[in-house]
C-alpha cells in the first residue's frame, strides 16, 4: 500500500499561529495546477507500481480550488499511470468555504473523507487566531457535509488558546465537537512557531503561553472525554471512532510509502525522504523545465532507528524493547531503557506489558523525551 499527498498552498488569509507553506495570492493558481499535473507525470514511477490506497489534498486550503481544478487533477492522476485503488480520498477544507453549492459542485470528485479546520467553537478564540469562520459557520459546515452524504468527517481543534477561561472554553468546544457526531478528531496544543505572528506577540510580551500544568489538564480532559465517548486514541493528537482512523496520516507513522506532490510536499519510499522547494515560483519553474525541485535524505540505520522511536512514541503502539533489539541490536534496547528510566521515575514514561509509552504528564515534553532517546 502507498499514499499520495497533494499540497495546495493557497489561503485566503494567514492564521497567526501557522507556519505551513502557503500564499494569500491566487494569481498563479492555474499555473500551479498545471505544474502539479506535470509533476504527476514526471514522478509516476516513484511508488514503483505500489497500490495507492489513499489520496490526501492538504494545505494551505484545498477548498480554495473549484470543481474544474479537481477534475483536472484527478484526470491527470489517472492518466499518469499510478496503480490507484483508493479507499480513502481526503479533502482538507476551511469551514468558511463549505456551502451546499460548493459540495454539490465537487460531487464528481472521488472525495469520501473531509477534514475541516475548525480549531475552536469559540468566536473570540477564532477571531484571535485570525480564522475566517465563526463557530456557527463551523457547525453548519459539519452539518452540510453530513447532509451531502459524507460519513467520514474529521475536525481539527486547538487547545490552550487564551486566558483566563481557557479550560472552560476548551470544555465547551469538546462538548460541541462531540454533539456533532463526527468520526475523527485531531487536537493540538497551540504552539508558538518562530516566524509566526503569534511568536512575535509572545516576544513582544503581548501574550503569554498557557503554562504546562494547565496544558496537561486540558490534554487529560481531551483524552477522557473522547475515550468516554467511543473514540480510540491512536496517536498523541488523533482520535477516531472504530474503523475511522485516518489511513493516510497513519502512513506517516507506520512506514507506508508516500509521494508528496506540490511545493514543500514531502515524499518517502523506504530508502529516502525528499522534500520539494517551499517556493511557488521555484516549484513551477523547475517542474516546467522537467526537473523535480527537491532535496533528499538517505535513510541510514541511525535515521531508521530514530524514525522508529519517534513514530512509536507518538502512536498507540509504543516502543517494544524486544522489537527494538531485533531491528537495531541489543545495544539499542539497552540504551533506550537506560535513557527512558529517569523519565519512568518522573512519571513521564511508563513501561507496561513490555511496551514503553508516554504518559499524560509526559505529553507536554514529548519532543524533548523523543530527542533524548534518539541517536
Q: How far apart are CA 372 and CA 364, in angstroms?
A: 15
Is 173 or 256 the residue whose CB approaches ligand SF4 more closely? 173
Q: Cβ of residue 65: shortest distance to ligand SF4, in angstroms? A: 14
Q: Cβ of residue 16: shortest distance to ligand SF4, in angstroms? A: 9
Q: Given its phi and psi angles, is residue 111 left (phi above 0), alpha (psi -120 to 50 degrees) or beta?
A: beta
Q: Cβ of residue 20: shortest distance to ligand SF4, in angstroms? A: 4
Is 126 or 287 the residue whose CB approaches ligand SF4 more closely? 126
Residue with cell 460519513: 151
Q: Which positions touch ligand SF4 (CB under 6 A)? A: 11, 14-15, 18, 20, 22, 59-61, 94, 117
Q: Cβ of residue 335: shortest distance to ligand SF4, in angstroms? A: 38
Is 116 or 177 the residue whose CB approaches ligand SF4 more closely? 116
Q: Beta 113-119 vs 153-159: how paired, if at all? A: parallel
Is 275 or 360 the residue whose CB approaches ligand SF4 more closely? 275
Q: How far apart are CA 286 and CA 341, in angstroms?
A: 49
Q: Cβ of residue 61: shortest distance to ligand SF4, in angstroms? A: 5
Q: Cβ of residue 277: shortest distance to ligand SF4, in angstroms? A: 18
Could you tell me which residues come within 8 angstroms of residue 75 by beta carbon, excluding any fewer than 6 positions away?
none
For residues 60 and 264, is the Cβ–Cβ distance under 8 A? Answer: no
User: Among positive and negative, which fits the CA dihedral 193, 32, 28, 30?
Assistant: negative
For residues 90 and 121, is the Cβ–Cβ distance under 8 A? Answer: no
Is 18 or 182 the residue whose CB approaches ligand SF4 more closely? 18
Count of residues in the chain? 375
Is 260 or 362 the residue whose CB approaches ligand SF4 more closely? 260
Is 62 or 321 the residue whose CB approaches ligand SF4 more closely? 62
Is 31 or 130 the residue whose CB approaches ligand SF4 more closely? 130
Pull the grid cell for residue 29: 493558481
Is 6 or 369 the residue whose CB approaches ligand SF4 more closely? 6
Is 93 or 277 the residue whose CB approaches ligand SF4 more closely? 93
Q: How far apart are CA 233 and CA 243, in angstroms?
A: 12
Cβ-closest residue to ligand SF4? Answer: 18
Q: Cβ of residue 21: shortest distance to ligand SF4, in angstroms? A: 8
For residues 317 and 324, is the Cβ–Cβ distance under 8 A? Answer: no
Q: Cβ of residue 129: shortest distance to ligand SF4, in angstroms? A: 8
In 3D, which of 274, 183, 174, 276 has the Cα closest to residue 225? 174
Q: Cβ of residue 115: shortest distance to ligand SF4, in angstroms? A: 11
Q: Cβ of residue 58: shortest distance to ligand SF4, in angstroms? A: 9
Amino acid at each position: 500500500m502507498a499514499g499520495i499527498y497533494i499540497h495546495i498552498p493557497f489561503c485566503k488569509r494567514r492564521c497567526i499561529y501557522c507556519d505551513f507553506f502557503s500564499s494569500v495570492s491566487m494569481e498563479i493558481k492555474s499555473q500551479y495546477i498545471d505544474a502539479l499535473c506535470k509533476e504527476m507525470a514526471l514522478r509516476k514511477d516513484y511508488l514503483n507500481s505500489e497500490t495507492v490506497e489513499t489520496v490526501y489534498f492538504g494545505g494551505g486550503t484545498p477548498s480554495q480550488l473549484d470543481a474544474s481544478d479537481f477534475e483536472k487533477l484527478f484526470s491527470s492522476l489517472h492518466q499518469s499511470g499510478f496503480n490507484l485503488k483508493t479507499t480513502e480520498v481526503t479533502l482538507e477544507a476551511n469551514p468558511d468555504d463549505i456551502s451546499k453549492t460548493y459540495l454539490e459542485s465537487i460531487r464528481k470528485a472521488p472525495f469520501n473523507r473531509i477534514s475541516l479546520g475548525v480549531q475552536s467553537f469559540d468566536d473570540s478564540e477564532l477571531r484571535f487566531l485570525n480564522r475566517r469562520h465563526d463557530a456557527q459557520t463551523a457547525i453548519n459546515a459539519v452539518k452540510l457535509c453530513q447532509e451531502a452524504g459524507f460519513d467520514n468527517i474529521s475536525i481539527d481543534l486547538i487547545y490552550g488558546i487564551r486566558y483566563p477561561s481557557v479550560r472552560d472554553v476548551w470544555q465547551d468546544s469538546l462538548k460541541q465537537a462531540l454533539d456533532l457526531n463526527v468520526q475523527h478528531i485531531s487536537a493540538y496544543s497551540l504552539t508558538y512557531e518562530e516566524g509566526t505572528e503569534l511568536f512575535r506577540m509572545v516576544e513582544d510580551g503581548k501574550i503569554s503561553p498557557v503554562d504546562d500544568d494547565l496544558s496537561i489538564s486540558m490534554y487529560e480532559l481531551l483524552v477522557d472525554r473522547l475515550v468516554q465517548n467511543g473514540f480510540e486514541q491512536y496517536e498523541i493528537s488523533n482520535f477516531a471512532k472504530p474503523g475511522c482512523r485516518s489511513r493516510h496520516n497513519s502512513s506517516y507513522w507506520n512506514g507506508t510509502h508516500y509521494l508528496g506532490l506540490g511545493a514543500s510536499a514531502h515524499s518517502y519510499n523506504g530508502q529516502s525522504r525528499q522534500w520539494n522547494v517551499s517556493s511557488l515560483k521555484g516549484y513551477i519553474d523547475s517542474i516546467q523545465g522537467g526537473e523535480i525541485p527537491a532535496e533528499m535524505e538517505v535513510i541510514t540505520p541511525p535515521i531508521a532507528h530514530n524514525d522508529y522511536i519517534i513514530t512509536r512514541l507518538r502512536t498507540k503502539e509504543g516502543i517494544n524493547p524486544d522489537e527494538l533489539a531485533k531491528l537495531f541490536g541489543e545495544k539499542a534496547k539497552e540504551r533506550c531503557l537506560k535513557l527512558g528510566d529517569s523519565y519512568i521515575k518522573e512519571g513521564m514514561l511508563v513501561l507496561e506489558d513490555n511496551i514503553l509509552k508516554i504518559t499524560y504528564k509526559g505529553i507536554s515534553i514529548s519532543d524533548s523525551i523523543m530527542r533524548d532517546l534518539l541517536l
